[in-house]
Amino acid sequence: MKKLFDKWGVRHFSPEEVTLHRQWGKHVLPPESKKNNIHKTILLADTIREVWGDPVRCNSGYRSPEYNKLVGGSEKSEHVEFRAMDLSPINGDIKGFSEVVRAVVEGARTAGWNVGVGFYSTFCHIDVDAEGKKKNRSW
C-alpha cells in the first residue's frame, strides 16, 4: 500500500496508520479488492491536514468486519469498505479542527465528491463514496 500512497501523493498519513486495529494492537490490511477504495478519502484527509497546519491522528481507518463489530461500528460502515477515516487534532482543538474539516468537505462537495462527514466531541469522521450511491451525508 505504501506504493499506492506514494503514487497518489499522500504526504501526511501512512498505510500503517489507516490499517491499525488499535484495540487489537495490530495492523490488518483490507482485502486486495478494497485497497483502492481509500483513494479519495485519504486525499481528503491529506488536504484537511494540510489546511489544518498541525498534526492529525487517524483514530480509525480500515476495519475488518470482526473488528468493526468489536468497536460497535455500523454493519454498513464505510470503514469496512476502506472508505472512511476518523481524524482528531493532536493539539486537542476539536472546535477549530471541525471548522477546517467543514470547509474542506464543502470544497470537495462543490467539486462533485460525495462526502460523508460526522462531528463528534473528540474526532471527525470522513468518507468518500466514489460510487455515488450515498449523497453528501452530515451528522
For the chain, give every domain's residue range.
2-128
pLDDT tens digits along 15-35: 999 999 999 999 999 999 999
**Coil, strand, or helix at residue 67?**
helix
Q: How confident is the model at residue 137 (pLDDT cuts 50, 70, 90)?
A: confident
CATH class belonging to 2-128: alpha beta
Q: For residue 81, what is the DSSP state? A: T
Q: Work out the number of other CB atoms within 10 angstroms of the CB of residue 96.
A: 13
Q: Is the pTM of this model over 0.85?
A: yes
Residue 133 pLDDT more than 80?
no
Contacts (Cβ under 8 Å, ≥6 apart) of 85: 18, 38, 41, 42, 45, 58, 60, 61, 125, 126, 127
Give yes or no for a contact between 133 and 60, defined as CB atoms under 8 angstroms apart. no
